[in-house]
């Protein structure tokens, strides 16, 4: 399943879109498949903008340059340099 998803996502990049939207690309992937997909995204983000909708914040921090948290349809937080403190504050904001 993980390899099939990575191939599917990689095929999106083969069309060379200026912007790619990935919806929950890490959902259900085993740890090794997640690492492989992070490598693909890190390589492709040098060529285009990539918007990722994802709940796995730890994995997101491995492959994004900026993170926006949506709450009730509005941007609740924007983060450009993640740290452990930022992650803790971000997680708290989900439960407020």
Residue positions annotated with a catalytic role: 24
Cβ-contact 59, 28 below 8 angstroms: no
CB-count exposure of residue 16 (10 Å: 0-12, 13-18, 19+) = exposed
Beta strands in 1-96 (DSSP E): 19-23, 49-53, 67-71, 74-79
Cβ-contact 41, 12 below 8 angstroms: no
């Amino acid at each position: 399943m993980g390899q099939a998803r990575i191939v599917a996502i990689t095929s999106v990049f083969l069309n060379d879109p200026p912007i790619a939207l990935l919806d929950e690309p890490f959902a259900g992937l085993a740890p090794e498949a997640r690492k492989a997909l992070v490598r693909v995204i890190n390589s492709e983000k040098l060529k285009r903008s990539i918007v990722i909708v994802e709940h796995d914040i730890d994995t997101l921090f491995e492959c994004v340059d900026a993170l926006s948290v949506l709450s009730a349809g509005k941007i609740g937080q924007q983060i450009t340099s993640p740290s452990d403190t930022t992650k803790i504050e971000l997680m708290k904001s989900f439960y407020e």
